Amino acid sequence: MIDFAKFAAYSKPGPRYTSYPTAVEFHSDFDAKQYRENLQASDKQYAHIPLSVYVHLPFCRSACYFCGCNVVYTSKEEKKARYIGYFKKELALLAQSMDTTREVVQFHFGGGTPTFFNAHELQEIIESLRATFPNFAPNAEVSCEVDPRYFTQEQMQVLHDGGFNRLSFGVQDFHPKVQEAVHRHQSPELVREAVELARKFGIDSINFDLIYGLPFQNLSTFKQTLDSVLELSPERLAIFNYAHVPWIKKTMRKIDESTLPPPQEKLKILQESIKVLGAAGYEMIGMDHFAKKSDELYRAKQQRQLRRNFQGYTTRGFSQTIGIGLTSISEGVEYYAQNYKDMAAYEAALDHGVLPTERGIKLTREDRLRKSVIMELMNNLSLEFSHTQREFGIDFRSYFARELALLAPYEEAGLLEIRQDSITTTQTGAMLIRNIAMCFDAYLHNASEQKRFSKTI
C-alpha cells in the first residue's frame, strides 16, 4: 500500500516533457529564417526519417475552465474561413521550404475543437493538406481530437473519406457537479452516441481523455466515471493530472482552488485507476496513458518501441514533426520551432511571405543526450544505459554520476531500482515519472524555473 501522506511530498512543479528542452527554453533568436534553414538541412541529412504532421485548429465556442490549450473562443463562422485561408498560405510556404513528398507516418488534428469546423471546412483542410503532403504511408496513424458535443455524421463521413483511423474524445469527467465547476456539460449518453457513430464508420481505435484533480473530484466520484467509461470500451485512455496554472491560463481563475482535491486524494485516484483498468484488461503505457493488451501501443511497449511526441504516444518511432497553424510546435532531430500564439502576428508573417515561426531552439549535443535519456524514461518507465552509451559514446554511470546520486532517495523509497546497466521504476514510481525525469534536466537549476510548471501530483 502507498503511504499517501509520504508520497504527497513529491508534489512539486515540474515539466510534462512533451519536449526536451521544454518550451520555456525556446527563444526568439530562433526565427523563421532559422526554421527554414533547419528544414532544408533535415532534407539533406535526415531524409530517411519520415514525417509527422500536426495541424492546430484553435477555435472553441466556449471555455472549458480546466483547459491549458492555446484556444481562440468565438462563435463567428467567418473566422474559420479566414483561418483556412491562412492555413493554405502556410502550406504553400512549407512546400517552398522543404521536401513535402517525404513519407508521412503520423497526422493529427488538434485544438481547440477540430470538430467545431463543419464537414465542408474539414474536407477543404484535409484536401489542401494531402495535396501538399501526398505521400501518406499505408499504415499511417491519422487521428483527430473530437468534442462529442460537436460531432455529426457528415463530419465523420469526411474524416472517414480522408483516411482517419483514430479518434480521441474529450470526456474529462462524467459527474454533474464536476462538469458544472469546469463549464463542460456532456452526458455519458452523448459520448455513447459519438462512439457508436465512430464505430459505424469502422473506427477501431478510440481514445478517451480523462482528467483527475478537477474541482469536487474524489475517489468515489472518479470511480463512477471509470465505470461509465469502461462500458464504452475505448481502446486507449489518457488520464491526465489536472495542471492548474492560473498565472498562465486566465480561465482557470474561474475555478475555486478550495474545491481542488489534495495530492493525497489525487494519488488515490491514480492508484485506483491503475487497479480498475488493470482488472479490465488495460495496461499502463508510459505516463498518463493506458491501452488494452490487444492494442498496438501495448505491443510496442513490450518491444520498447514507444515514442512520445506532442501528439501523444506513437508506435512509429521518431518522425520529424511539422507543426502547422497557430502556436503549433515542430520538432526535428536538432531543433524545435513554434509558431506565433497571437493570431494577428501569425497572419502578418504569412502576409509577408514568411513562415510564422515565433521562437524555437537549436539543440546542442548535451540537449540531445539528455533528451534521449528523459524520453526513454517517459516512454518506457525505465532506462537501459546501453542505448545511450552506443549513441553518444559515453560511460553512463560516470557521465551521470550526479544524477544517479539524486535518484538514490527514490530507490530507498521503493520507487525505482538502479542496476548496473539500467533504471526500472516500480508501479508506484511510474506515478512519479516526471519527478524521476527531472533529475536529468539540466535547465531546472532553481525554484524560479520550476514555478513555470504545474505540480507533478
CATH number of the domain enclosing 391? 1.10.10.920
Of the residues 343, 362, 381, the one at which a domain ends: 362
For residues 353 and 394, state if they share a domain: no
- Residues 32, 97: Cα–Cα separation, whole Å: 11
pLDDT value at residue 49: 96
For residues 55 and 160, state if they share a domain: yes
What are the tens digits of pLDDT across the range 96-126?
999 999 999 999 999 889 999 999 999 999 9
Which set of grid coordinates corresponds to residue 259? Answer: 474545491
Which set of grid coordinates corresponds to residue 56? Answer: 492546430
pTM summary value: 0.92
pLDDT value at residue 447: 46
For residues 357 and 382, state if they share a domain: no
17 domain residue, yes or no: no
CA 149 from centroid of its chain's CA atoms: 22
- Residues 102, 99: Cα–Cα separation, whole Å: 6
CA 218 from centroid of its chain's CA atoms: 25
What CATH number is attached to the domain comprising 53? 3.80.30.20
What are the tens digits of pLDDT across the range 302-312?
877 778 777 77
For residues 349 and 237, state if they share a domain: yes
pLDDT value at residue 457: 67
70 domain residue, yes or no: yes
The stretches in the chain having pLDDT less than 50 are 447
For residues 433 and 313, state if they share a domain: no
15 domain residue, yes or no: no
Of the residues 306, 329, 362, the one at which a domain ends: 362
For residues 256 and 393, state if they share a domain: no
For residues 47 and 106, state if they share a domain: yes
Of the residues 312, 335, 362, the one at which a domain ends: 362
For residues 80 and 121, state if they share a domain: yes
Residue 395 belongs to what domain range?
365-450
Our count of domains for the chain comes to 2
92 domain residue, yes or no: yes
Q: Which is it for the CA torsion 38, 328, 170, 430, positive or negative?
A: positive
Give the strand pairing for 72-73 and 59-60: parallel
Name 209's bridge partners. Answer: 170, 238
